Chains A and B, each alone.
Chain A
């Protein structure tokens, strides 16, 4: 019987697989090539014949450091050469080894590009002199609501609930802080009401998404519109009636003696408000909780494969609801930044889409609190860069500068991350049949 066996010669077809892998590796190589070209033309040939100056300490700093002065032409060419080298390496790997650049090299290349861009932008400004300290501390400040928002998103999505309502949570947090602050006059009161504001949005989200199985994206969008309308209405009525109101409290900076005087790092890490310090603890804390504890393992299982979690005795919907509620508290407290730190008055829609940027940061950061916080910092940095450069009188039209954060967001989410895989069951309600 075995005589009639027909076996095709098992010639392993390697060319097809090679072609597919090469194609995948070529995309980053193309992007680096474009970056290198921009660097050669813009940072190299079109470089301003000035030096860009970056001040490293504030005028009132206890420890003074001389400013960093970078000659624009020379630096531009160094950046261009480094990027050409990176692109060449990427092409070599793509065509000869069917691989992409290692992640650290890719990250480094984009950092170099960003540095080149900064020096060029500052160099071409009317006054080529900016404060690096101001740029960085401002970035951290601006990224604070983004990062609180992404942590809220991480808490929800890791448990399998899509949270589009971050924007609404932040907004009600900001409103809550304003209301609580005016009514009680105390910071604690303001923070508690901020948390309650976020919690209200979360309660509605979990009610509709977990209990009534409504499409979570739609619920999220509706909640944002609801939050905007609600706060807009009450801002015009409730907050205007000032008879029994106290003075609005403010979260002051709490410099840590000694450490606060370290050049550059001190102002960033050790001259923060209570919210800033809370953020520095929250991000690694949440990462640890999600990836190193029993609680986190269960949350992630619920977000990945709720039925598997159910069969080992985990109450899926209970985990989801409690996570969504916790996320509301986190985002609500983050939203208090707007009325307790950056201004002292609530204004309509003052979050201005930060919640959506937070969502983008979450995806860019691959649903990992640490990476999402880095993405949030990047967005904050780009926003602040725009302000600082406007002050320095940049040659680039202000409209283009204003676009910068959003362009970075689109590139980050669509182009640079490649395929990132979120929690498998995110957005899917869990029903026992």
Chain B
């Protein structure tokens, strides 16, 4: 199917999310939309899928102008979409999810057997191993994604939109997904692939359209170098390399011993995790999302009761202490979701910058805040951390993701730290801010602070980690040196121990494999 977008514009009030975007996707082609978070890629796809109505412009399928009043229309015309956040009902089975909205019926009854048979046919064609009767909530994310793909294919999608499909996958699962995409493309399906990860974009794309701030800023050839693509995406030259100095080995600061956390339903969320982080060292914790990283971080911070084990910092036990004491002990915390835990969106930038300092006499008296001190603190931090905001009294929720994260980091760095726990510090943050945040964290490390950095992005783990711990199903699969190959890390993220991963990687190592990519 050929798709053409002509001057598509989508505005929300004054904000123009897509500004006169034109592009053409040819049949059997993988067309990549490359752009940073917030560049307007997802909005464009939601317009194409009928979830939003375009403010102006035209969509043409095989030369025919079309209007979609809802996703149902788009699907009827052969457009399928795999959303960034899967659109699956967790308590439904695979067959029920796939049938939804496109049900087979037999005499008024829902005929899930027929759906299951079709699911098995498609699974066989693409080499998926999917049980139509399994509950979706019990499936790993990689399999859930395949369910989403089948959902599109069963409706005979000729154009498949994949919105950030690799965000939740291990490197091996990513490779498998890229293989599936190629197979679909070779079968004549048009693909729109949305990503900001240069490595996979270069591997899979036939055409790359780069979007910045809602506008098409150019097209690129997949053979372009990573730094060319990155500069096009960000709009200026970017250094992809931090040129970081390796850590100087200090004495151990954080000691986590035999930590276990059990959920109320009896699931083991954290399984006997032991690790230590030295002064002036970054321990990067890698792993696919939901493998116990959240529980590890929350246990260290005292936010979650532990069943057994202990956390200590410079010999003092932190386990069982209230969060306030942990913070006062010199622990800085960047929570994984800044909108939920890191900031109060309705509060001003200035207020957010002192959220944890209200017991300091210079910030607040017994009855009221010292407004002047709060304002002074705000203007200092705004300058020091280059927080781009209209004013210090603007609500934090009005800032971009990167600037919000700078507020969190600035606040945590207002106290002298002995340990920084940063969970997903750059998720949903633009490239420019990522670089800034990384440099600040490394600078803090260089003053002797121990850093635990949890990230699901391998790029970040490799860039920041002096050592890398990999978690899988609540277990620590091992701690490996910084700079360990993606292949080894990927195997560990999928449940191999460090030794097994190194052995397997040594066995399959081929010269010129993808390790020298960004």
A residues in contact (CB < 8 Å) with B? 1-2, 4-8, 10-13, 15-17, 19-21, 24, 98, 292-294, 296-298, 300-301, 304-305, 307-315, 421, 424, 432
The answer to whether B266 touches A304, judged by C-beta atoms less than 8 angstroms apart, is: no
The answer to whether B499 touches A5, judged by C-beta atoms less than 8 angstroms apart, is: yes
Query: CA of A13 to CA of B475 in the docked complex: distance in angstroms?
Result: 10
**Which one, A292, A293, A315, A424, contacts B90 given CB within 8 A?**
A424
The answer to whether B87 touches A305, judged by C-beta atoms less than 8 angstroms apart, is: yes
Residues of chain A within 8 A (CB-CB) of B266 are 17, 20-21, 24, 98
The answer to whether A311 touches B90, judged by C-beta atoms less than 8 angstroms apart, is: no
Residues of chain A within 8 A (CB-CB) of B110 are 292-294, 296-297
Query: CA of A226 to CA of B371 in the docked complex: distance in angstroms?
Result: 47
**Which one, B101, B108, B268, B498, contacts A298 given CB within 8 A?**
B101
What 5 pairs between A and B have smallest CB-CB spacing?
A313-B72, A312-B101, A13-B272, A308-B87, A16-B307
Residues of chain A within 8 A (CB-CB) of B91 are 304, 421, 424
Q: Which residue of A lies closest to B49 (CB)?
A: A311
Query: CA of A428 to CA of B50 in the docked complex: distance in angstroms?
Result: 23
Q: Which residue of B lies closest to A22 (CB)?
A: B266
The answer to whether A7 touches B72, judged by C-beta atoms less than 8 angstroms apart, is: no
Tell me, yes or no, whether B347 is within 8 Å of chain A by CB: no
Residues of chain B within 8 A (CB-CB) of A424 are 90-91
Q: Known contacts A13-B258, A20-B266; is A314 also within 8 Å of B101 by CB?
A: yes
Tell me, yes or no, whether B264 is within 8 Å of chain A by CB: yes
The answer to whether A315 touches B70, judged by C-beta atoms less than 8 angstroms apart, is: yes
Interface centre among A1, A8, A421 (most CB of B within 10 A): A8
Distance of B394 from chain A, by nearest CB (Å): 21
Tell me, yes or no, whether B96 is within 8 Å of chain A by CB: yes
Query: CA of A84 to CA of B147 in the docked complex: distance in angstroms?
Result: 49
Tell me, yes or no, whether B73 is within 8 Å of chain A by CB: yes
The answer to whether A13 touches B268, judged by C-beta atoms less than 8 angstroms apart, is: yes
Q: Which residue of A lies closest to B99 (CB)?
A: A297
Residues of chain A within 8 A (CB-CB) of B478 are 5-8
Tell me, yes or no, whether B480 is within 8 Å of chain A by CB: yes
Q: Which residue of B lies closest to A291 (CB)?
A: B110
Q: Known contacts A13-B268, A294-B103; is A311 also within 8 Å of B51 by CB?
A: yes
Residues of chain A within 8 A (CB-CB) of B484 are 1
Query: CA of A421 to CA of B91 in the docked complex: distance in angstroms?
Result: 10
Residues of chain A within 8 A (CB-CB) of B479 are 5-7
The answer to whether B92 touches A304, judged by C-beta atoms less than 8 angstroms apart, is: yes
Q: Known contacts A5-B499, A298-B100; is A312 also within 8 Å of B109 by CB?
A: no
Q: Which residue of A lies closest to B268 (CB)?
A: A17
Q: Known contacts A297-B103, A298-B101; is A7 also within 8 Å of B499 by CB?
A: yes
Query: CA of A16 to CA of B264 in the docked complex: distance in angstroms?
Result: 11
Distance of A157 from chain B, by nearest CB (Å): 14
The answer to whether A16 touches B308, judged by C-beta atoms less than 8 angstroms apart, is: yes
Query: CA of A305 to CA of B260 in the docked complex: distance in angstroms?
Result: 32
Distance of B67 from chain A, by nearest CB (Å): 15
What sequence of 0s and 1s flags, for each residue 83-125 of chain B, a beta carbon within 8 Å of any chain A beta carbon? 1000111111000110111110100111000000000000000
Residues of chain B within 8 A (CB-CB) of A1 are 481, 484
Tell me, yes or no, whether B502 is within 8 Å of chain A by CB: yes
The answer to whether A2 touches B101, judged by C-beta atoms less than 8 angstroms apart, is: no
Tell me, yes or no, whether B295 is within 8 Å of chain A by CB: no
What is the interface residue range for chain B against chain A?
Answer: 35 or more
What sequence of 0s and 1s flags, for each residue 476-505 of chain B, a beta carbon within 8 Å of any chain A beta carbon? 111111001000000000000111001000
Distance of B501 from chain A, by nearest CB (Å): 9
**Would you mind naming 10 contact pairs between A and B with Cβ atoms under 8 Å apart?**
A7-B499, A8-B273, A10-B272, A13-B258, A17-B268, A301-B100, A305-B87, A308-B89, A310-B71, A313-B73
**Which one, B72, B274, B275, contacts A312 given CB within 8 A?**
B72
Query: CA of A294 to CA of B272 in the docked complex: distance in angstroms?
Result: 46
Residues of chain A within 8 A (CB-CB) of B109 are 292-293
Residues of chain B within 8 A (CB-CB) of A11 are 272
The answer to whether A297 touches B70, judged by C-beta atoms less than 8 angstroms apart, is: no
Query: CA of A305 to CA of B101 in the docked complex: distance in angstroms?
Result: 13
Query: CA of A387 to CA of B386 in the docked complex: distance in angstroms?
Result: 75
Query: CA of A388 to CA of B101 in the docked complex: distance in angstroms?
Result: 51
Q: Known contacts A292-B109, A294-B103, A432-B51; is A301 also within 8 Å of B262 by CB?
A: no
Query: CA of A222 to CA of B215 in the docked complex: distance in angstroms?
Result: 49
**Which one, A20, A293, A301, A421, contacts B92 given CB within 8 A?**
A301
Query: CA of A425 to CA of B450 in the docked complex: distance in angstroms?
Result: 41
Query: CA of A33 to CA of B308 in the docked complex: distance in angstroms?
Result: 30
Query: CA of A297 to CA of B99 in the docked complex: distance in angstroms?
Result: 9
Interface centre among B75, B88, B100, B268 (most CB of A within 10 A): B100
Residues of chain A within 8 A (CB-CB) of B498 are 2, 5, 7
Q: Other than the known A17-B266, A19-B307, what 8 A-B pairs have Cβ atoms closer than 8 Å?
A: A12-B271, A292-B109, A293-B105, A297-B100, A301-B89, A304-B91, A305-B88, A308-B100
**Which one, A12, A17, A294, A300, contacts B105 given CB within 8 A?**
A294
Tell me, yes or no, whether B81 is within 8 Å of chain A by CB: yes
Q: Which residue of A lies closest to B307 (CB)?
A: A16
Distance of B288 from chain A, by nearest CB (Å): 18
Query: CA of A20 to CA of B151 in the docked complex: distance in angstroms?
Result: 38
Distance of A21 from chain B, by nearest CB (Å): 4
The answer to whether B103 touches A312, judged by C-beta atoms less than 8 angstroms apart, is: no
**Which one, B52, B97, B103, B262, contacts A17 given CB within 8 A?**
B262
The answer to whether B101 touches A13, judged by C-beta atoms less than 8 angstroms apart, is: no
The answer to whether A16 touches B105, judged by C-beta atoms less than 8 angstroms apart, is: no
Query: CA of A406 to CA of B87 in the docked complex: distance in angstroms?
Result: 41
**Which one, A5, A98, A301, contacts B480 given CB within 8 A?**
A5
Query: CA of A21 to CA of B266 in the docked complex: distance in angstroms?
Result: 5
Query: CA of A10 to CA of B478 in the docked complex: distance in angstroms?
Result: 9
